[in-house]
Amino acid sequence: MIKLNLDCFNLILKESRLDKKSLYSCLLVNKEWCNLVVPILWKKYSWYCNHKESEKKIFIIILSCLSTSSKQFLFNNNIKLPSTIFLKPLSFNYISFCEFPRAGIIDNIKDMIFKDEILNNFDYSTKSNLLEQEIYKLFVSQCKNIKILQWKTSQPLSLFPGAKECFSQLNNLYISIDSVSPNSLYEMIQICRDLNGLMIYNCSQNLPGLISLIDAQKNLKKLSLFKYIKKEYCKELSNAIKRKYNTLNDLCLHSLNIISPSFLTSLINLKNLSIYNYDNDNIRGDIKEFQHYLMISEFSELEYIDFYGLSWFEELAILIEKTKGNILQVIINSINKNAENTGLLIKAISNNCPKINRLYTHLEPKDFIHIKSLLLNCRNLSRIEFDSLNILVNENYNFGDELLNILTEFSPKSLIYISLSGDWKFSTDSFELFFESCRNRNTNLLYFGITHESYITRDHMLIIRRYINEGIIKGSNCV
C-alpha cells in the first residue's frame, strides 16, 4: 500500500471539517498521526470546552507548561499550583499551538487556583496579579505571529520576552483602554503597525498613546468604538480617525457622546457603517450633531448600513441617494415609535439599491405603497423584515392584507426570508394567497415570521403549519 505523504495528510487534516471527537480518533492511530493531530486539536479546540472537567484538564496542562523559574516564583509568593500538574517535561509544546487566550480564559484559570482559598482583597489582588503575570509571560514567549489579541489586562504584554515575535503579525486588536497602561501602548506601537481591525473599549478621555497607536497603523480598515464613559470630549480621537480616511472602510460606533462626528465627511472610502445608540437621553443632545454630519457626508462606495436606536430615516435616504448603487444591506431599528419619513427611506432604496439583499426597517401602512417599486427594482432581495411604528388600534381593518397582497404579486424569487409585524392584522385568506404564490413560483421560504403577534390567531398558525408540512416554509416563530 502506498504511504500517504505526511505533508499532504497534514494539509488534509487542517482543511477538513472533522469534529473534536473524530480528530481524537485520528490521534490514536499511531505516533505520526498523533504528531499531526495534536497541534490541530489545540489550535481549534483548546478554548472551547463543553464542561468544567475538560476545561480543568486544559488548565492543568497550561500550568504544567510554566517554566521552572515561574513555578518557583509563584511558590515563593505562596501561590500553590494544583498537585495534579505534570512535573516532568510534556510530550508537546502545547502553548505554541494555542490561539492567544482571551482575558476571560486567564480569569477562569485564576478562579480555579484560588477557589479554595480564603483571601482578603489585598492578598487576592496581589496573588491574582502575580499568577496572571506568569501565565501571560508563558503565552507571549511561546505563541508566535498571532493574528488576534484581546488586550484586557494591566499586564505589560508588549514588554514581556518574546513580544516582538508574538505580536508583530497582529491583524485584529481588541483593547480595553481602561485596563492597559500608557507605557504598554507606546511599546506596542514599536511592534505592531499592520492592524486591519482595531476595536476600542471603555475610552473616556484623550489618550496620547491610543492616538499614536492609530496613527502608526499603515492599513487600518476597520475601527470599532465600544462602551464609552464620557469624561471629556475626545477631539484628538476624532482627528485621528479623520487621518485614516484613505484606508478606513468599516466603522462601528457604540456611543455618540464622546467624539466629534466631523470626521464622517472625510471617510470617502467607507463601505460598512454601523451606529448603535443605547442612550435614550442622548436623543436630543449630541445626536443632533451626528445627524448633521451624516446628511452632508458622501459615502459613494457604501455597502452595509446598520443603525440601532436611531430614527434617521430622512438622513439615511439622503445618504443612500449619494451612493453608487452598491448597497447590499440596510438595517435600521428605531426606538422612536413616532418616527417619520420611513417612506423616504423605502423610495431611496428602491431607486438606488438594485443589489440589496437584506432590508430591516420600520413602516407605517401609508408606506406600503412604496413596497411595490422596492420589490420590482430590487430583484436580489432575499431577506426583508418590516416592523411597525405606531401600533394601530383599529381592530376592524386588516392593514396587513395590503402588504401581503403586494408581496404575493411582486416578490422576486430570491425572497426566502420574511418577517412582518403582527400589529397590522392579516386575514387568513391573504395568508393562503401569499403561500400559494410561493408554491406557484417555486419559492420555498427559509423563514416566515410575525413579530408582536397581536392579531395572530390559531387559524393563522394552522395555515403556517400546513405549509411547513408541505415544504413551502422551512421555519416560523408562529408554530
pLDDT reported for residue 100:
92
Residue 9: inside a domain: yes
* Residues in CB range of 325: below 8 A, 6 or more apart: 352, 353, 354, 355
Residue 31: inside a domain: yes
In whole angstroms, give the CA distance from residue 179 to residue 234.
18
Which cell is 81 given? 499550583
Provide the 10 A C-beta neighbour count for residue 78: 11
Residue 16: inside a domain: yes
- Give the distance from CA 266 to its chain's centroid: 25
Under 8 Å between Cβ of 398 and 427: yes
By CB atoms closer than 10 A (0-12, 13-18, 19+), residue 370 is: buried
- CA nearest to 454, candidates 383, 404, 388: 388
- What residues make up the domain containing 19? 1-46
Residue 7: inside a domain: yes
In whole angstroms, give the CA distance from residue 93 to residue 392.
65
pLDDT reported for residue 300:
95
The CA–CA distances, whole Å, from 29 to 4, 36, 83, 334, 445 equal 14, 11, 31, 57, 45
Scan for cell 490561539, then name that residue.
99
Residue 20: inside a domain: yes
pLDDT reported for residue 9:
55
The domain tally of the chain equals: 1
pLDDT reported for residue 138:
95
- CA nearest to 59, candidates 127, 131, 130, 117: 131
Long-range contacts of 374-377 (CB under 8 A, 24+ apart): 374/346, 374/349, 374/350, 375/406, 375/407, 375/410, 375/411, 375/412, 375/415, 376/410, 377/350, 377/351
Per-residue pLDDT of the chain (479 residues; tens, 9 = 90+): 345 555 565 555 555 665 666 566 666 566 666 767 777 777 766 776 667 777 788 888 889 989 989 999 999 998 888 888 877 777 788 888 888 999 889 999 998 888 877 777 778 889 999 999 999 999 999 999 899 999 999 999 999 999 999 999 999 999 998 888 888 888 899 999 999 999 998 876 678 889 999 999 999 999 998 865 555 567 888 899 999 999 999 999 987 767 788 899 999 999 999 998 876 544 455 678 888 899 999 999 999 999 998 888 999 999 999 999 999 999 999 877 667 889 999 999 999 999 999 999 998 889 999 999 999 999 999 999 999 886 655 565 678 899 999 999 999 999 999 999 988 889 999 999 999 999 998 889 999 999 987 788 999 999 999 999 999 999 999 88
Residue 26: inside a domain: yes
Q: Amino acid letter at 208?
A: P
pLDDT reported for residue 94:
80
Under 8 Å between Cβ of 128 and 154: no
Per DSSP, helices labelled H in 330-415 are 342-352, 371-377, 399-410
> What's the angle, vertex CA 148, arms to CA 228 and CA 70, rounded to 5?
100
